Structure 1
Amino acid sequence: MVKIPPNTSDQECKGITETHSHIRYDEKATRRLLRKIDLALIPFLAFLYLLSFLDRSNIGNARLAGLEEDLRIKGLDYNVALAIFFPFYVFAEIPSNLMMKRFRPSIWIPSIMVAWGAMCLLMGIVHNYGSLLAVRAALGLAEGGLFPGITFYITMWYRRHECGFRMAVFFSAATAAGAFGGLMARGIMELDGARSLSAWQWIFIIEGAITVVVAIAAYFIMYDYPDTARFLTKEDRREVQRRLEEDRSFLDDTFHLSYFWDAVRDWKIWMHMFITIGIYSPLYTLSLFLPTIVKNLGYKNSQAQLMTVPPYAVACFFCILTGWVADRHRQRGIYMISCNIIGILGFILQLATKNTRVRYLGTFFAAAGIYPNVSQTVAWNGNNIGGSTKRSVGIAMQVGFGNLGGVLSGFTYLNKDGPDYTQGHGIVISLLSMSTFLCVFMRWWCVRENQRRDASDRANMASGWRTEDMVAEARKGDKAGFFRYTI
């Protein structure tokens, strides 16, 4: 007899009963099911994030297309315009994830897309610095829900050690946005003067319009959760539910405000938040200032736009490769530590030499080290949070705090420090070093805690964990005795 947690609805009770009577898929059928889900979800989600990253970072391309001259931006004005995006972006993340947990992703995600696409369009028609700041702030508020929302959404479809690769493919769109943004900006610069608009205005207008069109289509294309997905058969839906329950040991997925407070009080989530800010700040620094860094190596504006493409292409490859290997080995920490070290090496090359080729090579190491860890750090945190409501809050807390690094990134590379930017490179190296140290600590703690729980099971659970025992501890989340942390 399976024990049902308190306050479980009749529909949830039915789901538990049906799952136990369902015959599991064999390995071949499971691979076919995962391919079906992958094709239905991941390419479109990656495209959405490409648009998101493109619309927040295209101001770096617009800077080389005359933005500062036309709006009379001087001194730290440009840095403030970058930084103002992030507090509003962070503010939106936890409420947005709770809204998506409470309502439907197929309504919520396209709606925030329409909002940020409209803000990107408006940036193309601003006529003064104050208007630019206002629209950038609104853009942050609108975009804030996408990344934490999609990462949580992925965890509702895949088992824990299947998420990292999918998140890596999804996030690789950010590297594609960097590469595509440079190419697109170079082409759009040819429109300079058309219809009395400058090249930087056309960059915002064209890219914003594309987002709005895709957002309207997303209302009809996006799926919600596996139990309502039209592309899955009834047997497929049952199998997805069975796999997730088996992977998460029947942890409670109901919506209770107590899980919000569980997340807020969990020190492990806070540790991941500091790991994340040590990665996201260098990420935004690189994405916002790479065109400027490359230009200061001696390239002209139009050439600098194109020279930003190869580092992003390499980063895309490493992002997907790291996600695949980490999932295959069912580990996160060791790969995050390795990637951080590669990123640190890239910025050391910026400091250690005046040789233009070596410093340009350093941008490849920097991008290849930083970008893979953005998806891995979210996957690692998500893997180690039990229960979907707590996980939605914990991921939003992590991503939100990490994105505060965007405020710092706006002031990392100052005009007065160019062209070498010694102080900026030093700041980025320090942040990556902090993140690396905390990754080492978290991996050590997770290994030790898993060993402690294994020893407790050997002493007290000779017959192993039965289904009814796991269901009885469903509300304990990752504190349940049967839960094991990903290292």
Structure 2
Amino acid sequence: MFFGLLGFWLCVDFPESWSSRLFKADEMKFLQLRVKYQDGPVSPDEEFRWSAFWEAVKDWKTYVNYTLATMVKSLGYSSIKAQALTAPPYVFAFFCVIAIAIYSDKYRCRARSLLISYAVGTTGIVILWPCLYHQNLAGVSYFALFLVVAGYNMQAPAVGSWLGTNVRNPAKRAAAMGWQSTFGQLLGGTIGANIFITKEAPTYKSGFIILLVLVMVGGVGATIANWYCLRASNLKKDKIPLEELEGKYTEQQLSEMGEYSPYFRIQDDN
């Protein structure tokens, strides 16, 4: 909670609000102009509008992206130990999230990062589930939890950045990312908290089946579908002859089109 509160001061804002103590005047000007005009000569409108929110809600790109203490307790540990042993997997996940975020940003590979994340988490599930039938494999089960927690937390940076980089208008981008997070938390939290039924402990057969189906369809399937649709959008724009576009739109019109501009190329992890 403490570090979460620090986010109010640590999260980076647009360069216009930065203190110039760390940068020279020309460096600060460069940073501001680079952000403002990164996608064209006319900067997008940064004022929030409800129309931008509803546009984000209707956009398909917005949607194409454990009760751990209970799981640990089922391995044979006491409630107090279960709560204590919940922490190490999340510490491990923290470093994995940082690593995948750096990798994703360096190579601009959002889809690949997501598939890697789901692969790590699913590997943990494949190891964990059979082990729960054997109490003498508690150590292996606990190791598998590290992979599960890490894998399914690693996907967050790629999901958010993939959507953010492909929505040009700042108001729509903020609305899309906020709605995506809300939508995901509501459905994910509701499902995750109710599929591991107490009477099925310690193997949770129904929970694991539902989880694997959701990961394959809603995780891996959605990632591949999103990559394919974004790539198809770029290929469609590439087929438009440049001479056909010359003089057809004003710079203001192109700016208002956002990512639908014929000149805008979506980052699709080719």
- Structure-1 separation of matches of 2:223 and 2:114: 7
- Structure-1 separation of matches of 2:6 and 2:141: 27
Q: Who is 1:226 aligned against?
A: 15
| Alpha carbons 2:20, 2:28 under 8 Å: kept | no
Q: Who is 1:456 aligned against?
A: 240
Query: Map of 1:51-90 to 2, 5 A cutoff?
Result: none
Residue 46 to residue 326, structure 1, CA distance change in 2 (3 Å): farther
Residue 374 of structure 1 pairs with residue 163 of structure 2: no
Residue 366 to residue 459, structure 1, CA distance change in 2 (3 Å): farther
The one-letter amino acid paired with 1:414 is I
Residue 46 to residue 469, structure 1, CA distance change in 2 (3 Å): farther
- The equivalent position to 1:400 in structure 2, one of 170, 178, 182, is 182
Residue 415 to residue 260, structure 1, CA distance change in 2 (3 Å): same
Listed as ranges, the gaps of 5+ residues in structure 2 are: none
- The equivalent position to 1:248 in structure 2, one of 17, 39, 61, is 39
- Structure-2 separation of matches of 1:264 and 1:304: 39
Residue 359 to residue 392, structure 1, CA distance change in 2 (3 Å): same
More helix by share: 1
Residue 413 of structure 1 pairs with residue 196 of structure 2: yes
- Structure-2 separation of matches of 1:50 and 1:362: 31
Residue 308 of structure 1 pairs with residue 86 of structure 2: yes
Alpha-carbon displacement from aligned partner over 1:110-131 (angstroms, at most 9, x marks no partner): 9xxxxxxxxxxxxxxxxxxxxx
| Alpha carbons 1:470, 1:482 under 8 Å: kept | no
Alpha-carbon displacement from aligned partner over 1:220-260 (angstroms, at most 9, x marks no partner): xxxxx432333555444422221113423344123233322
- Structure-2 separation of matches of 1:294 and 1:474: 52
- Structure-1 separation of matches of 2:68 and 2:173: 33
Alpha-carbon displacement from aligned partner over 1:273-317 (angstroms, at most 9, x marks no partner): xx3xxxxxxxxxx2xx21221122112233323322332222112
SS at match of 2:75: coil
- The equivalent position to 1:432 in structure 2, one of 215, 222, 233, is 215
Residue 308 to residue 264, structure 1, CA distance change in 2 (3 Å): closer
Structure 1 length-normalised TM:
0.48
Residue 471 to residue 324, structure 1, CA distance change in 2 (3 Å): farther
Alpha-carbon displacement from aligned partner over 1:368-396 (angstroms, at most 9, x marks no partner): 21111112111111111120011111111
- Structure-2 separation of matches of 1:48 and 1:231: 26
Report sequence identity in percent. Answer: 24
- Structure-1 separation of matches of 2:20 and 2:151: 37
Q: Who is 2:122 aligned against?
A: 344
- The equivalent position to 1:474 in structure 2, one of 249, 252, 255, is 255
Residue 47 of structure 1 pairs with residue 3 of structure 2: yes
Q: Who is 2:71 aligned against?
A: 293
- Structure-1 separation of matches of 2:250 and 2:185: 39
Equivalenced residue count is 257
SS at match of 2:262: coil
The one-letter amino acid paired with 1:243 is R
Q: Who is 1:390 aligned against?
A: 172
- Structure-2 separation of matches of 1:423 and 1:391: 37
Shift of 1:345: 1.9
- Structure-2 separation of matches of 1:426 and 1:49: 37
- The equivalent position to 1:322 in structure 2, one of 63, 82, 100, is 100
Q: Who is 1:90 aligned against?
A: none
- Structure-1 separation of matches of 2:102 and 2:238: 27
Listed as ranges, the gaps of 5+ residues in structure 1 are: 1-44, 52-108, 111-149, 158-224, 276-285
